[in-house]
Structures are given as structure tokens and as C-alpha cells.
Structure 1
Amino acid sequence: MDERENILNAYQLAKRQFEQLDIDVDAALKTVNDISISMHCWQGDDVAGFENPEGSLTGGIQATGNYPGKATSAEELRRDVFEAMTMIPGSLRLNLHAIYLEADQPVERNEIQPKHFANWVEWAKRVEIGLDFNPTCFSHPLSADNFTLTHPDDEIRQFWIDHCKACRDISAYFGKELGSPSTMNIWIPDGYKDLPADRLAPRKRLMAALDEIIAEPLPVEYHIDAVESKLFGIGTEAYTAGSNEFYFGYAASRNVALCLDAGHFHPTEVISDKISAASLYVEKLLLHVSRPVRWDSDHVVLLDDETQAIANEIVRNNLLDRVTIGLDFFDASINRIAAWVIGTRNMRKALLKALLEPNTQLKQAELNGDYTTRLALMEESKSLPWTAVWDYYCMEQGVPVGSAWLEQVKQYEAEVLLRR
């Protein structure tokens, strides 16, 4: 019996077991395949970008490690991203930062234009994916003091406002050209290392700056505005202007998307617990799925309890059409393509596993006050044969099954990465 037969037989047995729990496996496979996951370009080059190859990271961002083969040009990065995508099943997107522009000569950030991303759009058309976007409000001389949209200097603050406005035009260009709305997420590093005397004034400036940025209405079929909070960062341990409370209120009052990043809260907080609450007040949610280890260290996403809980909350609460899933990690200590493959496949696995839960029975048991049944079903669900469904899904999508993708990564490393 060959491998395909083994996978198919295991799948048929698993399918019958799920059907006994009234779980439609075919529907789950179709749904999970249609869920777009936005991969992040900055895993491939350690958040360096192509604006200034000699530039250094600021704004509380660190990429640690020196694994060989880092992409040093847009062409190399696109090649690496596509290689990773060939090993990941399901609908995918790519999330770009403004520093990944391509220009013949230096372009200031407040002067970037759609033409500087034309090659990305043409590539996205060829590989049939959508693009998302982010202003880059860090790693720049005018952000060196950790102030951008809250800067007390009117000229510097206006520079960053104009940068974000230019980015909105680029995001809308992505959506129009690719036929899929681009989510543009604004994150800033602004804050203080030590206790501030005035917590309110920076937030007033931030509110006014954001209002100016989003003042021009853009077609929702092309562009979605999002804002992202953070609890603390390196150099902003005591205070960040863009806190969760600030952005939650801003998103709800301005009807923009709220971004919840798994690494941007206290180590004992989890974004899975925030999704349902936020959904009551905010129409669109953007998730940055990451893995903090002691701090916002952006480790590769694992199939751990929190990743699974995030997927469960989205599925159980029927939020698939209101939640955009993006990834955000940058590990330079391992093969960067493997990092993409591991993290993105794990997010997709968590979504499939969530779709294969007996959610109807769980909710009914809870409604009946039968918490014994609820707990028993939750625990028994963990050992249902969902991995047999995953293997079948990968096989049908033409991507490597199990750890077979690692051989492809190693071959690409030998033939491409180590020759750079």
C-alpha cells in the first residue's frame, strides 16, 4: 500500500468518527481552505527592508540570530516567500511594510507612491494572492527618540502623518489592482522609558493625527484601516501612547479595524480572551498571531494552547468574515523559510482543528448548565483524529504531508540560500 492509500484510508476512518459527532468534514475542509492568512514579508530579511540597507532597527524591535541566506533584495524576498507558499495549504496573502519599496534612488517616507510597489503588485497577480500594508514608523532618523505621530514637534509629526497618508494610497492601490481589500495597519513605537509627567497630551496628538490620516474616505472594497496597540517596548517600558484602551476606543468610535497582537500585552494576558469582547464594539478585527516569550519577542507561532484558543474563538463565534488573520514574527536564528512554513501551517492547523470540534454540542451543554459534558467533550475533542484530516487536506492541496516539507527547505537552502 503506497503513502497516498495510507493517507486516504486514515482520512476515511477519521471522517466516519467525526460524522458520529455530526461534524461535516467536507464543509470544514472547504472553510479552512478559504480562510486567508496574511504572511509577513519581514520574516525573510529580519525587518531590514530596502530603503536603507545599512539602517538599523529601532522602536523596540529586535531580530536575533545570523542564520545564512537572508534576502537582500526584493527579488530574493519574493522568491523566498513563494518557496514557502508552495509548502503551505490554503488561501494566502502577503503583508508588506513601507520599507520594502523598490526605487532607483532614495525616496523619503512621506513621498512614497504606488509606483514604488508596482513590482510587488505584478508578482502578486502572477501568484494569485492579495497584499496588505503597513506604514513604517520606526528605524528612521525622525523616529530616533521613539516619537512619531505623537511627536511634540509639529513638523516631525506632520512628516509621519503624511507618511501614513501616502501608505493609505498605496494600500488602496493594492486592493484595486488585486481585487481584494488591503488591510493597512498603523503601529507606532511612541512612548517613554520612564514615568511621564503628562500621559494625556501625547494621546491627544495621536488622536488628532489619526483623524487627519483617515479623513479621506477610501473605498472599502480596496482598503481597510486598522490600528494596533502595545503595552510596552524596549525604550518605552513605562508608557506607550497607543495603549489598548486608546486604540479600542479609537477603533470603536471611528469605525476602523482593531489589531490585536499576541505579543503586545502583559505576559499573563491573551488575545483569545479579547476577541469576543472586541467583536461587540468593533466591526473588523485584525489579529497578529505571534508568540511572546517573556516579552514581545516575536517567536515562530507554535500549535500551542493560545494559537488554538485564538482559532477556537474565531470559529465558535462565527467571526470568520470579520476577522483578518496575519502573522508577525521574525526569527533569524533558524532557516527563515522554515519559520514561515512552521508558523503558517500551525495557524492553519489550529483553524482546521477548531472547525472539527463538536461546537454545537459544546454550546448546548453549556446552555443546559451541563458543565461536566462541556468539559468532557472539550477534552475528548483534543484527541480526535484531526491530524488524519490535515494530512489528507495537504495531499489534496498538493503540498508536503507531515514533515516532508523540511526536505524541500533543506534543498532550497543548499541550492539558493547558501549561495547568497
Structure 2
Amino acid sequence: MTRLTEQAFELAKQRYADNGVDVEAAMEQLDTIPVSMHCWQGDDVRGFENPQGALTGGIQATGNYPGRARNASELRADVDVALGLIPGPKRFNLHAIYLESDGPVERNEIEPQHFANWVSWAKERQLGLDFNPTCFSHPLSADGFTLSHADERIRQFWIDHCKASRNVSAWFGEQLGTPSVMNIWVPDGMKDVTVDRLAPRQRLMQALDEVLSEKLNPAHHIDAVESKLFGIGAESYTVGSNEFYLGYATSRQTALTLDAGHFHPTEMISDKISTVMLYVPRLLLHVSRPVRWDSDHVVLLDDETQAIAHEIVRQKLFDKVHIGLDFFDASINRIAAWVIGTRNAKKALLRALLEPTGKLRAIEAAGDYTARLALLEEQKSLPWQAVWESYCLRHGVPVDAGWLRNVRDYEEQILSQR
């Protein structure tokens, strides 16, 4: 298989060279673009604070596939299996509820020590860590409001939680030598007709200002804020709308998070990237797959995933866009979900890097839209798969669906015993 893969790769290199593309340079560039895998795929967003508690805030992980991680050690072991089957650089994204402690810790009291095992694990694997405050699945979020809550005491609790989360995030960056991107998302909203839409947004704005009041070293920590169209239980009104957060990120110069499932089904975040980059310093992308709406299915190598990758590459946003995944499917093997989704994100990036963007720009600038369309379509049938397989070989991971055997073996030996 290796010899055939190498032969196919040499032929692919020549085909791409004929189109003005340096395949080796594309692979080198791919080696500089990490994709942040997310912890919550491994345990259905349960965390370790109260893993038997009910999910709230519109969070739903459907299915009951056996083998869910029940503690941090199991989760790390599962992630290790996935990491070994995905080529190229990765990061890992944690929520606050994935802390480890000998006893109960309130969310406004989390500290770096509660994530020390995660940092040790990440150091050994040369992974960067990202972070999220967890503003859902808690008694003080039960009525659907957190940072925009009308009760000052409850609102302050969530402000303090987000402040504590920033300190944890900055510690990640300091310890690991790469900035942690911390994303703030809150589920705040109302189920039915809402009379006062302004006051909760005023409170959210003021709360966020307090959360971000301490200046942290950008070499260690990056703040991001995330919008949503609506949520389960907040169908009529979402406080943190796209307009709210675009205005907030622009005026405060934070990073803006665009989630592929957080907009109307006909809206595509790939089309928003070039617009928002005019106004904000950084973007965090949550690459997901909505079905009907924000159902967080495993990422496919579909048109929108490819379009997102093309926007990153065509605009050369490598140092301004952070790529994270966001899906949680409990109906299939959870490790396989990580592998499928992350490999697809990387395939899309590779295909984008193999595009003769300079030639296409020149054709477009000359007004030759016939040639532009022709070349874009011919690109789709060039042998990018041979380049991908060679990339996998260089990183010592399976080149095709052979990785599924590794997952099945682990399922039989480990997951089935849980």
C-alpha cells in the first residue's frame, strides 16, 4: 500500500505542478494549521462536576451508544486513540465542567489547579488547550438566563465564573506556550413572545464588560464571544444574537465566534468570514454540521466545510482564524466521530491549499469569468486524495478507513467494559 501511495503521490505532484501548485508547500502550510478537538464529544457534554445532571440551555446529545467516558482518565484515554488516527497538528478544547477535584467546586471558584492533569497531559502530547466557561446545566441557569439575568446576585455569579475561567485559560497559555482561545457562549433567552428585548442585552453588555475588565496577556489568552439564532427553550428571543455580538466584538475588539449551526439554515458562515474580518481582530470558527438547524452533527467533507476552508486559505487568515470543532453525537462510536470530523476538517484545508489561488485571482481580476468557473470545476477532479494519503503516511496514521479497525479494537477491549 505504501509503494502504491508513493507512486500516486508523485503523479499527483506533477498534475498539480502543471496547474501552478507546489504540493510540498501546501503540505508544509497544513502542518501549521491546528484544529481544536472538543472534549464534549467524548462524554455527551456531561462533564465531571455532576455527570448525572440534566443538560439544560438547549444542549441535547441524542443517542445512547455504549462506552461514554465517565471520568477524566477515561476521556483522556479515548482522546489519545483519536489523536493517533488524525494527521497533523491538533489542539484540545475544554469546558469548565471538565475540572478534576476531590470535592465539589462551585463554578465561580474554579482555579488552575482543577485542570492541572489536563495541562500535564497536553504538555506530554505537545497540544495547546482552549477553554470555555460553562454557562448552562446549573441550578442558577435553570430559568434560561445567566450573564443577562435580572437578579444581580445570579448575574454576578456568572460574571465571576467567566472571570475565573479567563484565569484558567491564561494559565493554559502560560504553561503550554500557545494562547488559549476562550469562548463565551450563554443560552440566555425566552421561549415565547418577549416585550423587553433591550434590558437583557444592556445587562449582557455590562456583564461582559466586567468579565473582560482585566487585561490579560494575549500571548496566553484570547477572548471570543459567540452568537446564536435561537435555542431549545429560547425559540422567540436570544439575548446574544449575531447583531449583538458583532457589535460587541467590533467595539471591544475581541475575537468573534462563528458557529456553522448558529444561523438561519440558509445562512452560511463561509460568506460571513470576509465581512467580519474587516472589523474584528480574530475569528474563532466552530465547524459543525447542522441538520435543519443547530443539531451539531459530525463534520462532513461537504460544500460548506470546504467553503470555510477556502475562505481561510484564499484570504490568508492563518494567523487570525482559530479552527475548532463543535458536535456531539451519542448515537455512534464517539471516538470515530472525533476522527471522522477532524480528518474531514483537515481534508478541506488541504484541498483549499491545493488550489491555484493566485491564478484564479488574476483570471477574476481580468474579468474572465468563464475561465474562473472552468478552473474551479476542474480543480475538483484533481488527485487531492493521493496528496492526503501521503500526508497521512508522513504522520504515521492510516491513509484510509483502516483507522476504523483501531477504533473497533479499542471498543471491544475498553469501551464495551464500561
Indicate the TM-score class for this superposition, using the shorter chain for normalisation: over 0.9
Provide the TM-score with structure 1 as the length reference. Answer: 0.99
* SS of 2:223 mapped into structure 1: strand
Query: Which of 245, 248, 259 is the matching residue for 2:246?
Result: 248
Unaligned residue ranges in structure 1 (runs of 5+): none
Match in the other structure for 2:100: 102
Question: What corresponds to 1:347 in structure 2?
Answer: 345
- 1:124 matched to 2:122? The reply is yes
**C-alpha distance in structure 1 between counterparts of 2:107 and 2:262, whole Å:** 25
Q: Secondary structure at the match of 1:403?
A: coil
* Corresponding residue to 1:20 among 18, 27, 46: 18
Match in the other structure for 2:284: 286
Q: Which amino acid aligns with 1:84?
A: A
Superposition pairs for residues 19-418 of structure 1, below 5 Å?
A: 19-418=17-416
The Cα offsets for residues 85-106 of structure 1, whole Å up to 9 and x where unpaired, read as 0000011000000000001000
d(CA) in 1 for partners of 2:203 and 2:12?
56
Question: Matched residue pairs, number?
Answer: 418
State the 1:243 CA deviation: 0.5
**Residue 213 of structure 1 aligns to which amino acid in structure 2?**
V
The letter for the 2-side match of 1:155 is R
SS of 2:8's equivalent in the other structure is: helix
One-letter amino acid of the counterpart of residue 380, structure 2: K
Consecutive unaligned residues of structure 2, counting only runs of 5 or more, are none
List per-residue Cα deviations over 1:311-333 (Å, max 9, x = no partner): 00000011111000000000000
Shift, 1:362, TM fit: 1.2
Equivalent position SS for 2:31: helix
CA offsets, 1:279-314, max 9 Å, x none? Answer: 111110000000000121000000000000000000
Give the AA of the match of 2:76. Answer: R
Alignment partners' CA distance in 2, 1:141 and 1:25: 53
- Equivalent-residue separation in structure 1 for 2:265 and 2:305 (angstroms): 15
**In structure 2, how many angstroms separate the alpha carbons of the residues matched to 1:376 and 1:108?**
58
Taking structure 2 as the reference length, the TM-score comes to 1.00
Aligned AA (1:173): W
Deviation at 1:22, TM superposition (A): 1.0
Q: Give the letter for the 2:224 counterpart.
A: A
Q: 1:53 Cα shift?
A: 2.1
Find the aligned partners of 2:114 and 2:26 in 1 and give their Cα distance: 39
Q: How big is each residue's C-alpha offset from its partner over 1:345-388, in whole Å with a ceiling of 9 and x where there is no partner? A: 00000000000011111111111111101100110001110000
For residues 53 and 312 of structure 1, the distance between their equivalents in structure 2, rounded to whole angstroms, comes to 39
CA distance in 2, matches of 1:146, 1:43: 23
Whole-Å separation in 2 of the counterparts to 1:145 and 1:368? 57
User: Counterparts of 1:25 and 1:195 in 2: how far apart (Å)?
Assistant: 55
Deviations 1:236-257 (A, max 9, x none): 1111010011101111111110
The separation in 2 between residues aligned to 1:283 and 1:378, in whole angstroms, is 30
User: How far is the alpha carbon of 1:127 from its aligned partner?
Assistant: 1.1
Taking the aligned partners of 2:363 and 2:196, their CA distance within structure 1 comes to 50
Distance in 1 (CA, whole Å) between partners of 2:361 and 2:197 is: 43
Secondary structure of the corresponding residue to residue 402 of structure 1? coil
Q: Which amino acid aligns with 2:100?
A: E
Question: Aligned equivalents of 1:358 and 1:223: distance in 2?
Answer: 35
Q: Which runs of 4+ in 1 moved over 4 A?
A: none
Q: Which amino acid aligns with 2:416?
A: L
| RMSD (Å), alpha carbons | 0.5
Following superposition, the deviation at residue 234 of structure 1 comes to 0.2
